[in-house]
Structure 1
Amino acid sequence: MAKQVSKQYAELSKKISLSPGLPVTNPSMPYWMDPQSPITKHGRNSLLPEYADIVIIGSGITGTAIVRTILDNYDPNEDKPLTIVMLEARDTCSGATARNGGHITPPLYHDYSDLKEKYGAETAKRIIRFRLAHLENLLEVAEEEDLLVDSQCRRVQTYDVFFNQKLFDKCKEQLAIYMADLPAEGANYRVIEDRKGLKALELSPLTVGCMETTAGAVHPYRLVTGILSRLLEEYSDSFQLFTHTPCTSVEATGKDIPFIARTPRGSIKARHIVHATNGWSSHLLPGMRRKIVPARGDMTAQRPGYGLGKSVDGGEDWTGQRSFVFYGGEAKTRYDYLTQQPPPRSSEAMGAGVEKGKGQGLASAGEMMFGGGFLQGGTADTAFFESVGNVDDRTWNFGVVSFLSGALGLYFEPAWGREQVEETEEANRKWAEGRIKAHWSGILGLSADGCPWVGRVPEKISKRNSKDSLLTEKRTLTTNKELSADGEWICAGYTGEGMAHAWMSGTALAQMILGTPDNRTVGSDKAPNWFPEVYLISEERWKKANVDDWLEKV
């Protein structure tokens, strides 16, 4: 057995050292993407410009946060307006953002003690507060964009549910430390372990306890495509999006305009290249291989049981108002996650934005958006070795999806009840009958040291040498003097927690690109004060990050 595992690890090590390549052209269809946005194939047949001040590669939540922040905050030059091109290999927002669980549920007490030991108390607190800030930040963004209803961005009560007493006891100890060090942030937590309390939550009798706090949920695809639609319309002279236009290479020119982004449809000269491709980052940045490792995860959309979410002992119907993380065993790394779509009664409201061009179709019907199973069930070890380093989101792991297809009825047994069916054929015509409406996969970006990688990419990592003079001179030659010095940038590696990292990481990177009087020269780039410094990319961090450390924890 040990020999077999050793062989599997050797094969895995070889696999994650390779380029992830370009995204496959015919991926599985995530439930979030039906119906598709009007900008799904935007710019597919349009002529590429010869030049852009900034080329952003990737059209998910990271790229959207970056372009929104730059466009809404840039002081335009009337003679030479800022030009930004966004390149997308497939449909708009068809990567991890449109394939995740829709949960804004950051790991808090779960990671705090480890972060404190590794980085010190103050840095650990900053990371926790950064993660927590995403819910309010995304709610604010959705409101500003008039997308609160259509994006379903909302607060929910979230529950960490435990089926193993040993792990539950350990997590209670971690929660106590978290609440002692961060009393304001920990005040919303409540530990539930009495049978009456657990029954009221409709959880299985096998549940040993749970922890409750406030978190969030969102329809990520609608949020991102709604924002991009507004930006394309409002900044039509500055911003262009080209779908089905993969960036196949980035080259350093050694000239005044330092970069060329090449695609099958033509090349674009640029002063700034932004890598916002998460799990695919190391395709264009070979130095990031084994630093950001792709991994395939599986998701499902399921019809809830008729008995679930109903009034229990006088309680209110909680459909669409809760999210869950289920820990089935002793390992904290083995969990499943669940959010629920709003109930059918929201149908009229959900369609309200259609005439404005924001609404994107059918209202939800209380679907259970359930994912995980990565290290669960009888195929856990096989699934692990198959998933890590895998960038093929055309298919999924059979064992994992089989596990996900049956787990919910057990997690909520006996409250689940009989299977639910929509009242109209229209709502069901595109999806499978039975409990599972849809299942799909998506590609995560696992960071070797567990932290996102954000900032200007050092040339030792990019393997591309910019024009030497650009390393010291201020931005006097650029057509847009308000930007930071030319260069390559990255914002990626969220290790499955993109909704609690990506938006504000993208915002921080955009502020770095916009520049201040202190960071118009390379080497003096400054992130906002609220951004965790340990998330910034540097040669020193890059040298230390070892993916084997992450693999050992799993």
Structure 2
Amino acid sequence: MPHANGTTNGGSSLRLPVPGSTKAFWHTELHDLADHRSTPELPKECEVLVIGSGYAGASVAYNLAKSASTLPNSIVILEARQACSGATGRNGGHLRPDLYGHIPNYIKRYGVEAGGEWAKFEIAHVQAIKKLVAEEDIDCDFTLTRTTDCWADEEAARKAKANYDLMTSLGLPYMEDVDFVYGPKAAGVSGVKDANASATYTAGTIFPYKFIMALLARALDSGKVNLQTNTPATAIHDDPAGGFVVETPRGSIKAKKIVHASNAYVSGLLPEYEKSIVPCKGVCVSITVPEGKTAPYLTNSYIVRDGDKVLSYLIPRDDGSIIVGGTAAIFYPHLEQWYNNTDDSTMIAASEGYYDSFMQRTFRGWEDSEASVSKAWTGVMGYSWDSLPHLGEVPGKPGQYVLAGFNGHGMPVIWLAAEGIAKMVATGKSYEDVGLPWIARTTEERLQKAQKGPEGGDILA
């Protein structure tokens, strides 16, 4: 597992993105800002320093730049590699709230009100992003659609039905949008051959790289934001004059406040998060149909769990291609290939070949399509010990904020979280005052539970 080594003032091993990463479909045509530096030299100081230029970093910078407040006037974004070259630029293109995975667990842990609040928070992202894309006229293939969950394994289908019954019995209003089918009709309704249960609800699909690069461009247009790509932050020190000094290979920069938005890499500069947010690799591919062949056009996004309980998530593209990722159940036993691993220059060997005939064996009407993998890539996600992101001011470090640990599920979480963090940074408001769900607030208690709990937490449960 190659990684860059160094130390912060906290003594933690510094892990940075590796060179030579696998190339995602989304990066086929790089944006003009991919290697952008707003100024040839690193600025000497700024009011707010944002570490990371993916979804989290770009969203915070955009919201700070667009803030009604007159401050901050100077925002610098540091990116270790090219802009949006990390997990955001490598994901599956889903804007899909979670209703059947973690929400029932949150309800059991924190109560119906808290679990329902988190579900509504995720669901709100679909319309929020739709509105943002329209207002900023962003060309990112955003599509408002339905997402289809399918369970082929009979036991898994029964559990899904039990979860559905539980959620509807609790009177959660958003469940009115869910259409659940159990039994023989599920395959016909969903188009997935072996489905024993299916559920659909409102979601979106998006070209994530185009979306984030557009946000960065709008932020830069404000005149308040300076983007410095290929410039990793390597250490943070308190400045005796107030604020912080952040070191990079190109020199140091002083900042009054810092936003840690590097997700899987956050513990390199915040060693207290080493057990709380762990870098984990994932797999994604693009599937295409050869010229002269045809296949049914899919309109919904999907999550398919096959008879062996292997989960795959996919979206259709308007050119007829499919973006699909997953296979965690296959590579799960091979921890060294994915867990605590930041090497996105190599694929996960255990699951190679799984998607070679995925569409033919999964969907009705695709049998003669000759659909095949045209591009495969991997990315590094930040998985949290308790499956919740860490949002808010870093415990014991006033002036430093964190927005990280999205468990491969950041699209329906980050935008509104970034709005809240930006308000905290710009106005000094508390976490509670900006209206973010309390269960995701980063706290000393959560950090200590991860330190003392079993290795891996929810990640390896």
Alpha carbons of 1:547 and 1:60: their partners in 2 closer, same or farther (altered >3 Å)?
farther
Residue pair 2:148, 2:301 contacting (<8 A) in 1 also: yes
| Higher mean C-alpha deviation, range 82-91 or range 531-540 | 531-540
- How far did 1:552 drift? 7.3
Q: Hey, what does 1:456 align to over in structure 2?
A: 393
The reply on whether 1:214 has 2:198 as its aligned counterpart is: no
Alpha carbons of 1:177 and 1:341: their partners in 2 closer, same or farther (altered >3 Å)?
same
Rounded Cα–Cα distance in structure 1 between residues aligned with 2:152 and 2:70? 56
Give the TM-score normalised by the residue count of structure 2.
0.91
- How far did 1:47 drift? 0.9
Q: Hey, what does 1:542 align to over in structure 2?
A: 447
Which aligned pairs between 1:274-423 and structure 2 lie closer than 5 A? Answer: 274-304=259-289, 306-309=293-296, 318-319=297-298, 321-329=299-307, 334-342=310-318, 365-376=319-330, 380-382=332-334, 384-413=335-364, 415-419=366-370
Rounded Cα–Cα distance in structure 2 between residues aligned with 1:272 and 1:58? 14
User: Paired residue for 1:56, among 46, 50, 65?
Assistant: 50
| Higher mean C-alpha deviation, range 297-306 or range 125-134 | 297-306
The reply on whether 1:271 has 2:256 as its aligned counterpart is: yes
Q: Deviations over 1:229-253 (max 9, x none)?
A: 12212x22x2100100111111112
Q: Deviations over 1:94-136 (max 9, x none)?
A: 1100000011122213333321110011111101101111111
Alpha carbons of 1:292 and 1:329: their partners in 2 closer, same or farther (altered >3 Å)?
farther
Rounded Cα–Cα distance in structure 1 between residues aligned with 2:294 and 2:151? 22
Rounded Cα–Cα distance in structure 2 between residues aligned with 1:70 and 1:326? 38
- How far did 1:375 drift? 1.5
Alpha carbons of 1:100 and 1:527: their partners in 2 closer, same or farther (altered >3 Å)?
farther
Residue pair 1:166, 1:330 contacting (<8 A) in 2 also: no
Residue pair 1:203, 1:415 contacting (<8 A) in 2 also: no
Rounded Cα–Cα distance in structure 2 between residues aligned with 1:551 and 1:508? 26
User: Paired residue for 1:504, among 397, 416, 421?
Assistant: 416
Unaligned runs of 5+ in 2: 1-10
Q: Hey, what does 1:249 align to over in structure 2?
A: 235
- The letter for the 2-side match of 1:172 is K
SS in 2 for 1:187: helix
Residue pair 2:386, 2:458 contacting (<8 A) in 1 also: no
- The letter for the 2-side match of 1:181 is L
SS in 2 for 1:70: helix
User: Paired residue for 2:214, among 226, 241, 260?
Assistant: 226
Rounded Cα–Cα distance in structure 2 between residues aligned with 1:536 and 1:245? 29
Q: Hey, what does 2:425 align to over in structure 1?
A: 513
- The letter for the 2-side match of 1:232 is L
Residue pair 2:301, 2:314 contacting (<8 A) in 1 also: yes
Rounded Cα–Cα distance in structure 2 between residues aligned with 1:262 and 1:541? 28
SS in 2 for 1:39: coil
Q: Hey, what does 1:471 align to over in structure 2?
A: none
The reply on whether 1:103 has 2:97 as its aligned counterpart is: no
Alpha carbons of 1:197 and 1:170: their partners in 2 closer, same or farther (altered >3 Å)?
closer
Residue pair 1:339, 1:370 contacting (<8 A) in 2 also: yes
Which aligned pairs between 1:61-76 and structure 2 lie closer than 5 A? Answer: 61-76=55-70
Residue pair 1:20, 1:391 contacting (<8 A) in 2 also: no
- The letter for the 1-side match of 2:33 is I
SS in 1 for 2:370: coil
- How far did 1:228 drift? 1.0
- The letter for the 2-side match of 1:63 is G
Rounded Cα–Cα distance in structure 2 between residues aligned with 1:196 and 1:173? 18
- How far did 1:187 drift? 1.1
Q: Deviations over 1:144-190 (max 9, x none)?
A: 1101xx21112122111111111111111111111232442011211
The reply on whether 1:144 has 2:135 as its aligned counterpart is: yes
Q: Which has the larger radius of gyration?
A: 1
Q: Hey, what does 1:439 align to over in structure 2?
A: 376
Q: Deviations over 1:373-425 (max 9, x none)?
A: 1213xx5422x4420111000111123131123333211155342225xxxxx
User: Paired residue for 1:83, among 74, 81, 90?
Assistant: 74
Unaligned runs of 5+ in 1: 1-16, 310-317, 343-364, 421-434, 463-485
Rounded Cα–Cα distance in structure 2 between residues aligned with 1:262 and 1:20? 12
- How far did 1:18 drift? 7.4
Residue pair 1:110, 1:174 contacting (<8 A) in 2 also: no
- The letter for the 1-side match of 2:457 is W
Alpha carbons of 1:381 and 1:88: their partners in 2 closer, same or farther (altered >3 Å)?
same
Residue pair 1:164, 1:328 contacting (<8 A) in 2 also: yes
How many residues are matched? 447
The reply on whether 1:157 has 2:116 as its aligned counterpart is: no
Rounded Cα–Cα distance in structure 1 between residues aligned with 2:118 and 2:15? 32
- The letter for the 1-side match of 2:366 is A
Give the TM-score normalised by the residue count of structure 1.
0.77
The reply on whether 1:191 has 2:180 as its aligned counterpart is: yes
The RMSD of aligned alpha carbons is 2.2
Which aligned pairs between 1:176-187 and structure 2 lie closer than 5 A? Answer: 176-187=165-176
Residue pair 1:449, 1:549 contacting (<8 A) in 2 also: no
Q: Deviations over 1:469-526 (max 9, x none)?
A: xxxxxxxxxxxxxxxxx6111000011111121111111111111225xx4xxxx554
- How far did 1:551 drift? 5.0
Alpha carbons of 1:308 and 1:184: their partners in 2 closer, same or farther (altered >3 Å)?
farther
Rounded Cα–Cα distance in structure 1 between residues aligned with 2:159 and 2:308? 10
Alpha carbons of 1:171 and 1:368: their partners in 2 closer, same or farther (altered >3 Å)?
same
Structure 1 or 2: larger strand share?
Answer: 2
The reply on whether 1:488 has 2:393 as its aligned counterpart is: no
The reply on whether 1:26 has 2:13 as its aligned counterpart is: no
Alpha carbons of 1:20 and 1:390: their partners in 2 closer, same or farther (altered >3 Å)?
farther
- The letter for the 1-side match of 2:67 is N
Rounded Cα–Cα distance in structure 1 between residues aligned with 2:352 and 2:308? 22
